[in-house]
Amino acid sequence: YSDFFLVELEKYGYNGSFVCKSRAKTMVDCSSVDGCATFYNKEKFEKIEEQAMEYQAVAISHYKEFSAHSEAFNRIITKDNVALAILLSTRKNKKKIVVANTHIHWNPIHSDVKMMQVQMLLSRLESLVQPPTTTSSTTRTTTTTTT
C-alpha cells in the first residue's frame, strides 16, 4: 500500500487509507499482508472520519452475546478478516458519503461467520453515519477494533 499504491495515486491527487489483516500484528515484516484500502480524490473529497475494524476483536469484545453460539464464535475468533469505513464530505456542497470495504471469510461452509461479520460491519456503519453528539469543526479520525 504505502510503497506503491499510495505513492502512485498521490501523483494524481488521491489520498487513501489502509488496514492490514489482523495477522500483521504477529509478523516482523507485514508489508506482504493484504487488507482493505480506499482511495479518494483530495480535490473533491475531505476525509471526516475513518474506522478500521477487526472482526475477531469485535467478536471477543462481545463474548457474552456470542456465548449462545459457541461453535460459530470459535470459528470467527480464528479469522483475521478486517473492514475499513471512511466518512467523506464533498468539498463542493458538503454532502457526506460513506465508503466501506471488507474482507469477509471466504469459506462457503461457514456462512454463519460471514453473516456475523456483515452484521458487525453494518452495525459499525450505522454508528458512523449517526450525527455526532457534539458539534466540532475539527476532523475526527478514529481507528477502533471494538464496537
pLDDT averaged over consecutive 10-residue blocks of the chain (147 residues)? 92 94 67 87 96 91 76 82 95 96 91 90 89 50 40
Residue pair 80/23 in contact (Cβ under 8 Å)? The answer is yes
* pLDDT of the residue at 42: 97
pTM passes above 0.75: yes
* pLDDT of the residue at 70: 76
Residue pair 5/37 in contact (Cβ under 8 Å)? The answer is yes
Environment class of 81 (CB within 10 Å of its CB; exposed 0-12, middle 13-18, buried 19+): buried
